[in-house]
A and B are shown apart, each in its own frame.
Chain A
Amino acid sequence: MKAYQKVLMIVAALSLGLLFVFPMWKIYLKAPQYPEGLELHIWVNKLGGSSESVLQNFNILNHYIGMEPIHPESFAELQFMPYIVIAFMITGVLVGLIGRRNLVLGWSGALMLAGAAGILDFYLWLVKFGTNLDPMAAIKVPGMTYIPPLLGNKQLLNFEALSLPALGSLGIFLAISLSIVTYYFTLKNNKITTAATPEKVLIS
């Protein structure tokens, strides 16, 4: 691998660091009584939101329909996910330093798998919260479940929920795309190329 390709691979690995700076996912709630909106932010290591007390406010609203309160302690993922991300960052940097093309591909594939697993896990949680309702709930709408959307928006009683990946997810996206680009460049190491620059990929 050429020097710039190594650098690119290291950049790919380090871009996962965005996960520690920004949330991965955001769920926006809007209701007539919440003109200012209510946002739940899902980080790799914590839950946050548009205000300090957003979880309490989510839980107060959710308890009427019998949804279990959301507490960060209930999610083991928040404990171990940061280590997985750090592991990916370290191995990614090592892959860059070693400079072997197949390792790049392997790293990229593993990250894709981990990302997919994360999204699946997230979806399963949404289903669990949306369907595991207390039979004593004050508000019971026959047949109604409250699974928030994984992506996009959905009307849940008076709330319009919108779910979107946030800047943290961009870290994963960058890591995957940059590592694939690195791999692609290394394929052409014997030829003179004018391959796509990372910026072009970024635009999407």
Chain B
Amino acid sequence: METSIFKLKKLVPKAALLMAVAAGTALQGCSNTEGGSANTAEGVATDAASAVYVAPGKHDELYSFLSGGFNGQVSVYGLPSGRLLKIIPVFTQHGENGYGYSEESKAMLMTSHGFVPWDDLHHPKLSRTDGMTDGRWLFVNGNNTPRVARIDLKTFETVEIMELPNSAGNHCSPYPTNNNEYVIAGTRFSVPLDMKGGTGDVSLDKYEEEFRGSISFIKVDPEKGDMDLDFQILVPGFDYDLANGGKGPSEDWVFFTTYNSEKAGTLKEVGASQNDRDYLAAVNWKLAAKYAKEGKAREMPANYYHNKIDKDSHIAKSTVKKKVRYLLPEECPGMMYLLPAPKSPHGIDVDPSGEFMIVSGKLASAIPVFSFSKMQDAIKNKKFDGEKNGIPVLQYEAVLKGEVKEPGLGPLHTEFDGKGNAYTSMFVSSEVVKWKLNELQVVDRIPVYYSVGHLMIPGGDTKAPHGKYLVAMNKITKDRYLPTGPELAHSAQLIDISGEKMKLLLDFPTVAEPHYAQAIPAEKVAPNSVKFYKLDENKHPHAVKKEADVSVVRESKNRVRVKMTAIRSHMTPDNIEGIQVGDTVYFHVTNLEQDWDVPHGFAVMGANNAETLIMPGATQTLTWVPKKAGVFPFYCTDFCSALHQEMQGYIRVSPKGSNVPITFSTGKKKQNIPGVASTK
């Protein structure tokens, strides 16, 4: 590994470095170095402050969705301001609002392994209509326990999570086709499949013979967005790293980078870095769907969870799926080809025209650009270089348009501005490099801080990129912000790409570790944003829509159900007696408010649980098992009104078997409860 990097460094011509240094010094010359270190201001636009300034009360031009990586969440930022607007919990329990704690949402995190309250969320992808983002949904992947989730952009809430069988390390995921016909997900960690939906108890020496990868094809309902695993392709046991769909002429295809074509099962950092070439896998998804439809698919037993939130009750339900269909590439001619690509490629990105496939080989000294039309010719004229596991391998030269020479060190990902330029992130040399797609010539480079991973241009992976900004998401932060102990926020930089020269505009900290991001013009999302839920449409079985209907009922020996309401500034009931030690108490709290931005929170002293945050018109359930006798206060946790501090109540817990009857009330007898709400 080290030696190969040394080799790479030698390969980089001094000219390129000189150019970068010269450009850097030139820019430094006209910038202040008040930050101390010289490179803090390198490339900063002179009008940067006004370019990112969104005046108080004004809105950003774009929404951006940054994955949170190991926090299992998505962060929503406004661009160009870099202001954090929201954190959306997806694969991770969120004490802040009770996601994954409340009875309604627990089922969202169910898997065939049981309740998995965390995941590693890598890639957000916006839903598409005709190859353009349409602002309806955001698909994201869970890498660790393979899952794909859908976030509804009307509510910015996770509404569906689909577990993927026969998969491990769901990294190469989730890639929607141009009209969301399929969301496609590949495995990074091949595993020995037992062909019953699990992994086999196989000796780890048997990697080469037994381990396989899979590519899942998830069908998306065009109206509702509901997902359904249609079929999988079982592929050779490589590591499938990243993918992207074609566009225009190549829209029937999806491309996957692979590494570990050596099929090493241990010390992969060495074992998977032996072959000079790995592969870019090209899969014709339309043909695959046709094969699956026409009976080429076999079926195997499986066991995986599909969790969905009902939009009227807000209750998540899990369905366990018991079978999955699969295709084998060797039985499906024309469906899959392998294109040789430089050692251990990482990103694969298809330009807006759909003609060029750009493979960023993190260990390679050049960026190969493949041509889709040449690939079609090579397939037609059978320009094969043998086959691998029954899949034809195309000749490298026959499919190559050319290589971008000396782009920098450690290319990872590429996005496009729609004006004929590509932008590639360079992890090792810590820069973004702009190059011309047709000429394959580097035309500009800008340093980023430090070690950029993904980069994102709004719409940069669609047919028509927005092309004004670029966000570089960096892996190393070090001195960018005030120090905060050993753990630092990751840094991101906003770069203006509207002119010939890239200009640094803004440096902002991000939450956890963003891998990829998506952005979309605000007008495609903002007008559809829900302000509150209609109480009339609340179909929660334990909702109460009038204070007169609240109840506390002992349903069985150890179970008490409290159906209560919250409205400014009281809860009904707020005095409850007759609970006993060891009871399981369900608090179904309905927020009776029907106004924008009036959530109420609910928390009970000593509950081994989070709070629950209830949006206007919705019902959420907090479960509490009191462990000792006494009086326990509960209260509203979200400052709702001038009398929020008064929005509290008491529960009396008596010993097991006590004869204190269940009683409940709000206010003294005959006291008029003000602000009583009705449904109309």
Contact = CB atoms under 8 A, between A and B. Distances in A.
Interface of A: 36, 51-53, 55-57, 59-60, 63-64, 66, 69, 71, 134, 136-139
Contacts of A64: 569, 641-643, 674
B548 interface: no
B48 interface: no
A137 B646 CA distance: 14
Contact of A52 (B568, B594, B642, B643): B594
B643 to A, nearest CB: 6
A104 B642 CA distance: 56
A53 B595 contact: yes
* Most A-side CB within 10 Å, residue of B593, B594, B596, B674: B674
A56 B594 contact: yes
Interface string B555-596: 000000000000111000000000000000000000011111
B353 to A, nearest CB: 44
B677 A56 contact: yes
Contacts of B596: 36
B548 to A, nearest CB: 14
19 contacts: A36-B596, A51-B595, A52-B534, A56-B592, A56-B594, A56-B677, A57-B594, A57-B595, A60-B593, A60-B675, A63-B674, A66-B674, A71-B678, A134-B672, A134-B674, A136-B671, A137-B674, A138-B642, A138-B646
Contacts of A71: 678
Interface string B621-647: 000000000000000000001110010
A137 B567 CA distance: 16
Interface of B: 534-535, 567-569, 592-596, 641-643, 646, 671-672, 674-678, 680
A63 B595 CA distance: 16
Contact of B567 (A52, A60, A139): A60
Contacts of A69: 674-676
B531 to A, nearest CB: 9
A69 B677 CA distance: 9
B594 A63 contact: no
Nearest to A38: B595
Contacts of A139: 642
A71 B675 CA distance: 11
Contacts of A57: 594-595
A138 B594 contact: no
A124 B641 CA distance: 30
Contacts of A53: 535, 594-595
A159 to B, nearest CB: 13
B39 to A, nearest CB: 43
Contacts of A63: 674-675
B675 A59 contact: yes
Contacts of A138: 642-643, 646
Nearest to B568: A60
Contacts of B642: 64, 138-139
A63 to B, nearest CB: 4
Nearest to A71: B678
A195 to B, nearest CB: 49
Contacts of B646: 138
A64 B640 CA distance: 13
A60 B643 CA distance: 12
Contacts of A55: 680
The 4 closest A-B pairs by CB, nearest first: A53-B594, A63-B674, A63-B675, A60-B675
Nearest to B616: A53
Contacts of B676: 69
* Most B-side CB within 10 Å, residue of A56, A59, A66: A56
A137 B680 CA distance: 24
A63 B671 CA distance: 14
Tell me what chain A mostly uses at the interface: helix, strand, loop, or mixed.
loop
Nearest to B674: A63
A71 B676 CA distance: 11
Contacts of B674: 63-64, 66, 69, 134, 137
Nearest to A36: B596
Contacts of A59: 675, 677
A182 to B, nearest CB: 42
A63 B667 CA distance: 15
Given A36-B596, A134-B672, A56 B678 contact: yes
A51 B595 CA distance: 9
A153 B16 CA distance: 70
A115 to B, nearest CB: 29
* Most B-side CB within 10 Å, residue of A57, A71, A134: A57
Given A51-B595, A56-B592, A60-B568, 18 more contacts: A52-B534, A52-B594, A52-B680, A56-B593, A56-B594, A56-B677, A60-B595, A60-B675, A63-B675, A64-B569, A64-B642, A66-B674, A69-B676, A134-B672, A136-B671, A138-B643, A138-B646, A139-B642
A52 B678 CA distance: 12
Contacts of B535: 53
A53 B568 CA distance: 14
B615 to A, nearest CB: 14
A60 to B, nearest CB: 5
Contacts of A56: 592-595, 677-678
A137 B592 CA distance: 21
A56 B535 CA distance: 12
* Most B-side CB within 10 Å, residue of A60, A71, A136, A138: A60
Nearest to B595: A57
Contacts of B595: 51, 53, 56-57, 60
B596 to A, nearest CB: 7
A36 B595 CA distance: 11
Contacts of B641: 64
A56 B675 CA distance: 8
Contacts of A51: 594-595
Contacts of B672: 134
A75 to B, nearest CB: 15
A52 B643 CA distance: 25
Contacts of B534: 52
Contacts of B643: 64, 138
A163 B392 CA distance: 78
Nearest to B570: A63
A52 B531 CA distance: 13
B549 to A, nearest CB: 16
Nearest to A139: B642
A69 to B, nearest CB: 7
A66 B643 CA distance: 14
A5 B343 CA distance: 94
A51 B534 CA distance: 11
B591 to A, nearest CB: 12
A66 B673 CA distance: 11
B594 to A, nearest CB: 3
A55 B501 CA distance: 57
Contacts of B593: 56, 60
B132 to A, nearest CB: 31
Nearest to B677: A56
Nearest to B532: A53
Nearest to A158: B642
A87 to B, nearest CB: 29
A83 to B, nearest CB: 23
A113 B567 CA distance: 43
B638 to A, nearest CB: 15
A66 B642 CA distance: 14
Contacts of B569: 64
Contacts of B675: 59-60, 63, 69
A136 B643 CA distance: 14
A27 B680 CA distance: 19
A53 B534 CA distance: 9
B532 to A, nearest CB: 9
A47 B595 CA distance: 17
A166 to B, nearest CB: 22
Contacts of B671: 136
A52 B677 CA distance: 13
